[in-house]
Amino acid sequence: MMSHRAFRLFVVALLVATALPCSAQRKAVEAEHAMVVSAHELATQAGVEILKKGGNSIDAAVATGFAMAVTFPFAGNIGGGGFMLIHLADGRDLVIDYRETAPAAATRDMYLDAEDNVLKGPGSSTVGWRASGVPGTVAGFALAHQKYGSGKVKWAELLEPARRLAADGHIVSQETAERFQKEVELLEQFDETKRIYLKNGTLWKPGELWKQPELAATFARLQKHGPEEFYTGETARRIEEAMAKNNGTINRADLKSYKPVERVPLRGTYRGHEIVTVPPPSSGGIALLQMLAMLEPFEIGPLGHNSAAKYHLFVEVMRRAFRDRAERLGDPDFVKLSVQQLLDRSYLTGLMENYDPAKATPNEALAPSVPAPAEPQDTTHYSVIDAAGNAVSNTYTLNGAFGSGVTIPGTGILMNNEMDDFTAKVGVKNLFGLLQGPQNAIEPGKRPLSSMTPTFVRKDGNLLLITGSPGGPTIINTVLQVITNMIDHGMPVMAAVEAPRIHHQWIPDEMTHERYGISPDTAEKLRAMGHTVRERTSYEGANQGDAETIALDPQTGRRLGASDPRKPDAKAIGF
């Protein structure tokens, strides 16, 4: 007969298991022609507005991104950068890399004090006027529109939804109010930021109308004078003057010389599907393709979605890919690397030679010279597809939540703290407790390593999935799990997005899981194999990622929008 204690443990395990979103609690949004999915409903509406005006998915993605700068300021931006993966209806794929670059005044040791210690607080790589790379979002969006837009919608029209939202205001959601409150310590350090984002210290409340006239004026200048205004006009002047006044590092020459880069996507296969993703300086694409290649020899489906056996295998694969990420990757314009070698199937088979299905591989057996730096997890992702089949998977960021905390006076522009993605000091733990490598050292004009992983999946030549996520290093593993949920477990897209997620990045040597994400007995089985298992805390976000995803029904071609429930303001809208 079961003891009282055993019965209680059984009930707890049952409750946890039944709470897991392994089957969708809601259906994907279906549409015949087009779909936009983003982390904020008003930004999604901006993209749909442009599609209905005759714009294509690239035009809509630009409008969505500008609107996110107004409605989702902890990650949406014009003061940051990112990667746009584009699929054109004629079959071409391309990447626009609009990642931030280190300014000319940047130096390898710029974040070390007189005693050679890594700086903290204002003046460091994370906070204040010296933390920003040269922003790439406006230039990247402009290149996308000019070269791959429909030609039916003008640049000024793409900015209008964002300008209108900033000028007329929008209602503060509960999520937005909570994010302001959570980041008070950072935001109150800078007068302009405190005035705009903290309502001069009284804090915005859910349901209040929030207007941003300075940001609206910036959008109006960009509408009137074109995207170059950000880099050579009045906005550039204000950025330079504010930086000079506050001992910042970015000047007009840095802004004028910034150029986005068009890159060739990486391609791989997984169980008969083609995977199209981003190349360096994002590490995400290589790591994703490596993990899929390491998983392919194993039968994943029969293991069960939430089993200890499956999680053990996934953790071991994640560790090996992140080990390679740490040792080998950086900006390809500055670091010599062989993508072909890293994706070679025989090489990846060799990485799994010491895999034991019953026991965790000792971390020292995987260790290269130094691990990679940690990344803040406040980024955002959105996906778009139009009636013709043009598609965009876009991930962009300020790096940390609200970036450096700095708002350029008179512009409403929050600046990134992307310099923290570089190595502050080789061989010394950074603010996140990790050592950092020389391949990612600071150099003027260099782009820092990223984990952003906008991705397409194709089947039989047809587009099947558009996905990506925020989350720092967890991005890569979030995208991996969305893809394998659909391919290996046969989940519909909404279930694939809702399903619980795990993460391992080699260093620290621990598997994290979402709150209520695995049952206690599964965690104990993993510990018995030698894994350290930890539930994600509310401080870092009990949830992992935000996979705003679109799937295409292979039979009907209908667009299936899956907004991630981990973001309460997220919305999929189609027509």
H, E, C per residue of 374-386: CCCCCEEEEEEEC
CB distance 28 to 535 below 8 Å: no
The residues carrying an active-site annotation are 379
Q: What are the phi and psi torsion angles at 513 (to 5°)?
A: -140, 155
CB distance 365 to 354 below 8 Å: yes
Q: Classify 402 in phi/psi space as left (phi over 0), alpha (psi -120 to 50) or beta.
A: left
The answer to whether residue 428 scores a pLDDT higher than 60 is no
The answer to whether residue 135 scores a pLDDT higher than 70 is yes
**Gyration radius of the chain's alpha carbons:** 23
For the chain, what percent of residues have pLDDT higher than 70?
Answer: 91
Distance CA 35, CA 55 (A): 13
- pLDDT tens digit string along 321-338? 998 887 777 777 777 767
SS3 for 555?
Answer: coil
Q: Which residue has the tokens 């405190």?
A: 194
Q: Which residue has the tokens 């390898």?
A: 108
Question: Which band of pLDDT confidence, cut at 50, 70 and 90, is reported for residue 357?
Answer: very high
The answer to whether residue 431 scores a pLDDT higher than 70 is no
How many C-beta neighbours within 10 Å does residue 20 have?
Answer: 17
pLDDT of residue 7: 33
Q: Cα(first)–Cα(last) distance of the chain, in Å?
A: 58
- Mean of the pLDDT values across residues 302-315? 97
pLDDT of residue 21: 44
pTM assigned to the model: 0.93
SS3 for 318?
Answer: helix
- pLDDT tens digit string along 469-483? 999 899 999 999 999
| One-letter identity of residue 464 | L
Of 574, 534, 440, 547, give the one whose Cα is nearest residue 484: 547
User: Higher model confidence: residue 377 or residue 407?
Assistant: 407
- Mean of the pLDDT values across residues 256-283? 97
Q: Give me 380's structure tokens.
A: 């955002």
- Mean of the pLDDT values across residues 513-534? 96
The answer to whether residue 435 scores a pLDDT higher than 60 is no
Of 349-358, 372-381, 427-436, least confident by mean pLDDT is 427-436
- Mean of the pLDDT values across residues 436-442? 72
The answer to whether residue 233 scores a pLDDT higher than 50 is yes
Mean pLDDT rounded to a whole number for the chain: 91
pLDDT of residue 15: 35
Give the angle 294-295-296 at the CA atoms, nearest 5°.
95
CB distance 87 to 422 below 8 Å: no
Of 21-35, 272-286, 352-366, 515-529, least confident by mean pLDDT is 21-35
Residues sharing a CB contact under 8 Å with residue 490, sequence separation 6 or more, in sequence order: 301
The answer to whether residue 432 scores a pLDDT higher than 80 is no
pLDDT of residue 350: 94
CB distance 499 to 493 below 8 Å: no
Distance CA 365, CA 239 (A): 48
- pLDDT tens digit string along 392-407? 999 999 999 999 999 9
Question: Which band of pLDDT confidence, cut at 50, 70 and 90, is reported for residue 117?
Answer: confident
Element (H, E) at 262: strand 261-263
Distance CA 441, CA 456 (A): 31
The answer to whether residue 287 scores a pLDDT higher than 80 is yes
Residue 70 pairs with which residues in a beta bridge? none
Q: What are the phi and psi torsion angles at 173 (to 5°)?
A: -85, 170
pLDDT of residue 116: 85
Residue 266 pairs with which residues in a beta bridge? 277
Question: Which band of pLDDT confidence, cut at 50, 70 and 90, is reported for residue 433?
Answer: very low
Question: Which band of pLDDT confidence, cut at 50, 70 and 90, is reported for residue 376?
Answer: low
Question: Which band of pLDDT confidence, cut at 50, 70 and 90, is reported for residue 440?
Answer: confident
User: Higher model confidence: residue 1 or residue 102?
Assistant: 102
Distance CA 566, CA 545 (A): 8
The answer to whether residue 279 scores a pLDDT higher than 60 is yes
| 533-535 and 511-513 strand pairing | parallel
pLDDT of residue 339: 87
CB distance 401 to 67 below 8 Å: no
pLDDT of residue 22: 44
The answer to whether residue 115 scores a pLDDT higher than 90 is no
The answer to whether residue 546 scores a pLDDT higher than 50 is yes
- Mean of the pLDDT values across residues 35-43? 98
Question: Which band of pLDDT confidence, cut at 50, 70 and 90, is reported for residue 427?
Answer: low
pLDDT of residue 372: 53
